[in-house]
Structure 1
Amino acid sequence: MTTSIIGFPRIGKNRELKFATEKYFKHDLSQESLEKTAKEIRIENWNLQKQAEIEYPVSNDFSFYDQVLDTSRFLNAIPKRFQDLNLNALETYFAMARGLQTEKIDVKALPMKKWFNTNYHYIVPELSSETQIKASTDQILESILEARKSGIETRPTLVGPYTFLKLATYTENARPEDFIASFQTAYKLLLNELDKNNVTWLQIDEPALVLEQNDADLELFKTLYQEILKEKKTTKVLLQTYFGDVRDAYLTLLALDFDGIGLDFVEGRESLHLIERYGFPENKILFAGLVNGKNIWKNNYQKTLDIISQWPKNIHFVLSTSCSLQHVPVTITSETQLSQDILNHFAFATEKLQELHELDAIVFHGNTAFLVENERYFTGNRIKKDDALAQKIDHLTALDFERQPSFSKRLEIQKEALKLPLLPTTTIGSFPQTKEIRVARLAHKKNELSDDAYEQFLKEKITQWIKFQEEIGIDVLVHGEFERNDMVEYFGQQLSGYVFTQKAWVQSYGTRCVKPPIVWGDIRRPNPMTVKWSKFAQEQTQKVMKGMLTGPVTILNWSFPREDISLKESTLQLALAIQEEVLDLERAGIRIIQIDEAALREKLPLRKSDWNKEYLDWAIPAFRLVHAKVKAETQIHTHMCYSEFTDIIPAIDAMDADVISFEASRSDLSILDSLKENHFKTLVGPGVYDIHSPRIPSVEEIETQIERILEKVPVDHVWINPDCGLKTRASKETKESLAHLSEAAKTYRKKYL
């Protein structure tokens, strides 16, 4: 074996899985038809890998929703409330992911969080004293046999026991140690079944090893695997890591009986040093993550060869990706509108298979032709540098990042200027992007709907939803963002320096896919981007209208960034552009401006020791640069969602926003304790219901959530809002949910008057 990948996108070239699954949810497609679509995607993926001469294409990397949720199903880690629904296996699976609400059933979904430092979201496992771990290998074996029928021998993969235990939440006083024996039994059973079926390799993913490990962590890991690996017979075990290096666990890995160890040489800053310092055993295979699985730029073959040249000569290694390719689009062959000169610089998932094939030819067969061809993409200047912009960044001073007056003084000024009630209500920004809206947008894009007709359509939608918000008594209104296709792509399309794709979709969670724009060059704002629609919306109401922007860190983190300049420099370019938009909104009479930083955490190094020097020292000031020049009367909001924020609360407070809203409903409001412990000064809007589930919360449910919030946060510091934007929800459920939210807020407001 000389080439390998960790995983492949499972959405399909044209998002076939998304559309089939959503039809299934609506009862417009049978389970049999959904599974047929899934099978077609799997076989296509295996054939692509086989064509690129990947010796053991990956199986069981396919998922209907999430690979961590699949592991919960493998382990039977299914909370009793879902088992008691007496649904079939797939229906139970989706109920755990999305919740379920019928006339007789009302069960909330399991929590959802960001997958390490990516924009992918996983379903958080739940373990309790009632959990009976019992391995079900059917899905894994069916995938292996399905591939064999197509003449392809695969390497099955699944999330490892250590990462699963580290990511899980525990109820009823359960602890990770309670599940060691049952997890060992489950993975040993899997190894036994694979051995019976003559499977050559098993890949076990343990990305949690790239986090900081203490002695107790390493002892847990060793205890798990010393027993599991005793079951190993002919099936070899690859222990796969990604998203960083394993500096704390490296020697532990070498000492255990793994046949292969997968290390990340893209994000793993210490991976090369570990091999140089400690070597690598001759009796193990190094699966070397050299092709970037998270970005779309071509691999620089010479840089890859430079890394390999520093390894000891006796290392047996396999060329691999740095992580699963599920984090990049499927193929550039779907892109017909970008010039070939631009496309030549990109490699999506399918093209990365070809890169591995070419690296194999260079490294193991001495074929220098591929190296010569590759070098021409990395010589000369791909773009012309904007010297004036660079100079502007160079001349920024500390004063450019500081807002005046102080937070407490601004709070009093804003209270008088805005005259908002106690527990003010608002939404995060977007309203449902219905089929009608998507059809109109596409017709306009195809020139089948005139500019005037499309503009009138948008005005009608905005006006309708403003009227609805007024009717139910929302205090701070939003215009709904009907003109926007995506919270990042929309802005990128109006900034210089970006290029855009047609079908470069990437899974964010479940059936939700995003199409990240690509930062091609230096970034400027040629013209105002949102002022026209915010101003129109404000003219339709006497209430305060909130302007909606995406922050510079999130725009960059949800784009495919350049690799020829630093992330800091790109972010500061974006910050200056968004700053211009903020000031234009203020001049247009918009008194509250929300600057979303939903992705603030995503580029944060996974190790705390690397935080400030690598990220927070410039990411937080970049946000402050955006709003530092606004008047004291102008209230600045920001929004964050579905990440772990409890350990960076001081940094979030240092953003110096006036109000922050964040996801809290799925995470059981746990972040509020951290706010209290850190004496958080910023006003907060913890989400009072989960918008990623189709269920409608009752008034009583929201009242209970508000009561719990007020137990931990002073009433004059609380805003009431959903936990995220509402673009993915249906209109009916959105309206009912918001009406319930407004009613619940009014009830609690009366209690304090």
Structure 2
Amino acid sequence: MKTLLPTSTAGSLPKPSWLAEPEQLWSPWKLNGNALREGKQDALRIALKEQQQAGIDIVSDGEQTRQHFVTTFIEHLNGVDFSNRKTVTIRNRYEASVPSVVGPVSRPKSVFVEDARFLRQQTHLPIKWALPGPMTMIDTLYDDHYKSREKLAWEFAILLNQEAKELEAAGVDIIQFDEPAFNVFFDDVNDWGIAALERAIEGLKCETVVHICYGYGIKANTDWKKTLGSEWRQYEEIFPKLQQSAIDIISLECHNSHVPMELMELVRGKKVMVGAIDVASNTIETPEQVADTLRKALQYVDADKLYPCTNCGMAPLSREVATAKLRALAAGAELVRRELSA
């Protein structure tokens, strides 16, 4: 029987301290060679176990085998030079030193498929795998070759589609594309961003998600949020076109944000992963707070299409906090399930 209100995480979970420096993004690995390969697999097992024990219904790898949700995919591509770095402004928010696209991009071999196969062997639960979306990829690079954001996005969409098809064949049930850039470049999203995303999902039979949030709980993002005023209406710009798109599920940030709940009405008919856990705070939500967010969302999303989730990845949090938040998510969803079945 299909679970009502199936819970999941938006992506990353904290890594064990023996694998990488805790509570920071782009944390360097503490192991290398064969020990690193084994360490990543052990961390993946732990992340899976912690999700299962918390009561999460759709599990993931917790992104234990990658340093960063975008660059780890890009590192495996041809045409990108990591030694030739330039400073760019990411999502109009903060400056970062990024690699350069110096020639035609291609994907010589699969990137995450072995990891996905390993995860599939460990569990019978549905598994979700996250990939960076085309627009967020181009926003994390300096393009010295195509000289066109749109052209580069289409090239990446083709490579992502190759990877996604192999992930599906490895037993992944849901493939998620992370597109925080969709919250910033509205004209591009509507002109070609959604079309590029649809190219990335072409031919897939598994379910597909686009995850659009306001970013990890890092200072650059929390500072930016303070400038957005009392109502965050960014979703309003892109939801109407997403509602018409071939993407199955839309994943959004909700709890403790200033996103007006009624904006979910714009994607009525789609499945919605509602972020009911704040990843920019160490405060542990109560099950009742989670349930309250879900009850409000149910005004705009049919119960069979509501997927309780976290706002974003939890890599910058401590393992203790992240695990407690997962338990709260599962317990809050269970409260609402009982109400619905009553």
Structure-2 residue corresponding to 1:711: 299
Letter in 1 for 2:248: D
Question: Would you say how many aligned residue pairs link Structure 1 and Structure 2?
Answer: 316
Give 1:728 shift.
0.9
1:659-698 correspondence to structure 2 within 5 Å: 659-670=249-260, 672-676=261-265, 678=266, 680-698=268-286
- TM-score, normalisation: structure 2: 0.85
**How far has the Cα of 1:564 moved from its partner?**
5.0
Q: Does residue 136 of structure 2 align to residue 554 of structure 1? A: yes
- 1:500 match: secondary structure: strand
Superposition pairs for residues 77-116 of structure 1, below 5 Å? none
Q: Secondary structure at the match of 2:143?
A: coil
Greater relative CO (CA pairs within 8 A, separation 6+)? 2
CA displacement at 1:680 relative to structure 2? 2.7
The alpha-carbon deviation at position 489 of structure 1 amounts to 1.0
> Which of 727, 741, 753 pairs up with 2:329?
741
1:725 aligned partner, one-letter code? G
Counterpart in the other structure of 2:207? 635
Contact 2:5 2:303 (8 Å CA) reproduced? yes
Amino acid at match of 2:243: D
Partner residue, 2:240: 650
Alpha-carbon spacing, 1:505–1:473, altered in 2? closer, same or farther (3 Å): farther
* Alpha-carbon distance in structure 2 between the residues aligned to 1:504 and 1:433: 28
Structure 2 counterpart of 1:589: 171
Amino acid at match of 2:201: H
Q: In the alignment, which residue of structure 2 is the partner of 1:60?
A: none
Looking at structure 2, the residues matched to 557 and 507 of structure 1 have their Cα atoms a distance apart, in angstroms, of 8
Query: CA contact under 8 A between 2:183 and 2:212: conserved in structure 1?
Result: no
Residues 426 and 720 in structure 1, CA contact (< 8 A), matched pair in contact too: yes
Shift of 1:493: 0.3
- Alignment identity in percent? 25
- Where does residue 488 of structure 1 map in the other structure? 70
Q: Take 2:88 and 2:278, find their aligned partners in 1: how far apart are those partners?
A: 23
Report the CA distance shift for 1:736/1:517 in structure 2 as closer, same or farther (over 3 A).
Answer: same
Name the amino acid aligned to 1:742: A
- Indicate if the aligned counterparts of 2:47 and 2:61 stay in contact, CA closer than 8 A: yes
TM score, norm. by length of structure 1: 0.40
Distance 1:675 1:698 in 2: 23
1: distance between equivalents of 2:238 and 2:295? 25
Deviation at 1:712, TM superposition (A): 2.7
CA distance in 1, matches of 2:61, 2:101: 28
Decide whether aligned partners of structure 1 residues 566 and 652 sit closer, same or farther in structure 2, where only a CA change above 3 A counts.
Answer: same
What's the counterpart of residue 626 of structure 1? 200
Unaligned 5+ segments in structure 2 are: 22-26, 215-231
1:505-560 per-position Cα deviation (integer Å, ceiling 9, x unaligned)? 87879xx9865332222211110011111110111011111122111111112222
CA contact (8 A) 1:522 1:570 kept: no
Determine the C-alpha separation between the residues in 2 that align with 1:491 and 1:625.
Answer: 18
Q: 8 Å contact 2:136–2:181 — kept in the other structure?
A: yes
Q: Partners in 1 of 2:243 and 2:189 — Cα distance? A: 16
| 1:454-483 residue CA offsets vs partner (Å, 9 max, x unmatched) | 111111111112112111211000111122
Q: 1:541 aligns with which of 115, 123, 128?
A: 123
1:673 counterpart letter in structure 2: E
Distance 1:477 1:564, change over 3 A: closer
Counterpart residue number, 1:85: none
SS in 2 for 1:442: coil
Segments of structure 1 that go 5 or more residues without pairing to the other structure are 1-418, 605-610
Query: 1:113-171: CA deviations, max 9, x gaps?
Result: xxxxxxxxxxxxxxxxxxxxxxxxxxxxxxxxxxxxxxxxxxxxxxxxxxxxxxxxxxx
Whole-Å Cα distance in 1 between the matches of residues 48 and 29 of structure 2?
A: 24
Question: For the structure 1 residues 651 and 475, does the alpha-carbon distance in structure 2 shift closer, same or farther, using more than 3 Å as the test?
Answer: same
- The residue that corresponds to 1:159 in the other structure is none
RMSD of equivalent CA atoms: 2.4
1:595-606 paired onto structure 2 within 5 Å: 595-604=177-186
Check the 8 A contact 1:523/1:573 in 2, yes or no.
yes
Q: Is the 8 A contact 1:488 1:516 kept in 2?
A: no
Change (3 A) 1:691 1:600: same
- Is the Cα–Cα contact under 8 Å of residues 557 and 603 in structure 1 kept in the other structure? no
User: Which protein has the bigger helix share?
Assistant: 1
Checking the alignment, whether the CA contact within 8 Å between 2:85 and 2:99 is kept in structure 1 is no
Determine the C-alpha separation between the residues in 1 that align with 2:137 and 2:305.
28
SS in 1 for 2:102: strand
Q: Find the residue that maps to 2:41 and give its secondary structure.
A: helix
CA distance in 2, matches of 1:549, 1:485: 13
d(CA) in 2 for partners of 1:563 and 1:498? Answer: 10
> What's the counterpart of residue 726 of structure 1?
314
Checking the alignment, whether the CA contact within 8 Å between 1:558 and 1:599 is kept in structure 2 is no
Residue type of the partner of 1:623?
A: L
Preserved contact between residue 128 and residue 173 of structure 2 (Cα < 8 Å): yes
Alpha-carbon shift at residue 562 of structure 1 (Å): 3.4
What's the CA shift for 1:700? 1.9
Q: Deviations over 1:609-630 (max 9, x none)?
A: xx3xx65232211100111211
Paired with 1:683 and 1:507, the residues of 2 have a C-alpha distance of: 33
Aligned partners of 1:480 and 1:462: how far apart in 2? Answer: 7
